[in-house]
Amino acid sequence: MIAAAAREGRVVAALGRRALSVQFRRAQLLMPTFVLPLMLLAVIASGTSAAQGLRGFPDIASYLAFVLPGTIIQGALLAGLTSGTALAADVEFGFFDRLLAAPVRRTSLVIGRQAGTLGLSALQTVFFLAIAYAFGARYPGGVGGMLATVGLAAITAVGIGGIAGAIALRTGSLSLLQSIFPFVFVLLFTAPAFFPRELLVPALRDASVYNPLTYVVEAVRGLLAGDAALGDPWLGLAAATGLAVATTVLATLALRERLRTL
C-alpha cells in the first residue's frame, strides 16, 4: 500500500512538473497570469489612492500594500483558469488520451494537474510580492506572513483550477474555457479585493459574505500587514481549503462521468 502510494506520488509529481513547465512555454497564457494583475494594480494603486482618506477606511501604512492582496487573488484566479484551459487543450487535442491509456489512478490525473496549478500560483505570488516591494509596499507581517500568503494564494488557485478543470473535463472545449475568463472579475469584485468590505455598496457587501474569496483576500491582507483585525488567516485558510477540496472532488467526478459516458 505504501509502495502504491509512493508510485502515485511520483505520477502526481511528474504530471505537476509537466503542467508547470509547459505553462511557462505558453506565452499567450503567461501574459494574463503574470502581467495583467500588475497592470490593474498599477491603475488601482495610483488612481484610487484617495480612497484611504474615506471614513471607515482602516488605518494603514501603505495603500499599495492594502490593494496588493486583490492582485494576488486575481492572479490565483487566473492561474486556476489557465490551468483549466490547458487541461481543455489536452482533452481537445488528444494528449489526455495518452494519460488515460496509462496505468495510473484517475484521481492522480486531476491531482497532478492541480499540483502544477499550485506551483504556478506560488511562483506568481512571489513575483507579485517582489514587484510590489520594489514599488514601496512593505510587509509588517514579515517572512512568515509572506510565506503564508504564498500558500493561501496557491490553495485558492487550486480551488479555481478545480472548477475550471471540471468544466474542461465535462465539455472538452477549449473555447468555452477561454470565454469564462471575463467572469473571473465578477468573482473578484464581489469580494473586498481592493476596498474594505465596510465601504462596499450594500448589495456587494451582502454578496461578499457568500464569496469564499472574501475571506481569502482579507486573510492575505491581515497576514501581510501582521494585523489580524484586517482579516482572520484561519478563516481564509478554511475558505481556500474548502474551495480546493470541493472543486477537486468536482473535477474528479467530472472525469469519472466523462469516462463513464465515453
Partner 1 sequence: MPAPDHRAPAVEVQLLTREFKGGIRAVDGLDLEIAPGEIYGFLGPNGAGKTTSVRILTTLLRPTAGVARVAGHDVVHDADAVRRSIGVALQEAAIDPLMTGRELLRMQGALHGLRGPAARERAGELLERVGLTQAADRRVGGYSGGMRRRLDLALALVHRPQVLFLDEPTTGLDPTSRGALWREVRALNDEGTTVFLTTQYLEEAEQLADRVGIIAAGRLVAEGTPDALKARVGEPMLHVELAEPDSAERARTALSGLGAVELADPGAPTRVVLRTAAGKGAIAPVIRALDEHDVVVESVEVETPTLDDVFAAVTGSHLEGAHGRAGEPEAAGAPG
Q: Does 133 bind partner 1 (CB under 8 A)?
A: no
Alpha-carbon gap, residue 175 to 179, rounded angstroms? 6
Select from 31-39, 87-95, 185-193, 226-234 the region that touches partner 1 (CB under 8 A).
87-95
Q: At what angle do helices 36-47 and 106-134 cross, to 10 degrees?
A: 40
Dig out the grid coordinates for 84 from the structure: 483549466
Q: Does 97 bind partner 1 (CB under 8 A)?
A: yes
Subset of residues 104 to 123 that bind partner 1, contact rule: CB under 8 A: 104
3-class DSSP string for 188-242: HHCCCCCCCHHHCCHHHHHHHHCCHHHHHHHHHHHHHHCCHHHCCHHHHHHHHHH
Q: Does 256 bind partner 1 (CB under 8 A)?
A: no
Subset of residues 218 to 247 that bind partner 1, contact rule: CB under 8 A: none
Residue 4-23 contact track with partner 1, rule CB under 8 A, x = bound: ---x--xx-xxx-xx--xx-
Residues 117 and 243 sit within 8 Å (Cβ to Cβ) = no
Q: Does 91 bind partner 1 (CB under 8 A)?
A: no
Q: Does 179 bind partner 1 (CB under 8 A)?
A: no
Alpha-carbon gap, residue 163 to 175, rounded angstroms? 16
Q: Smaller CB distance to partner 1: residue 56 or 103?
A: 103
Q: Which residues are at the interface with partner 1 (CB under 8 A)?
A: 7, 10-11, 13-15, 17-18, 21-22, 25-26, 90, 93-104, 259-260, 262
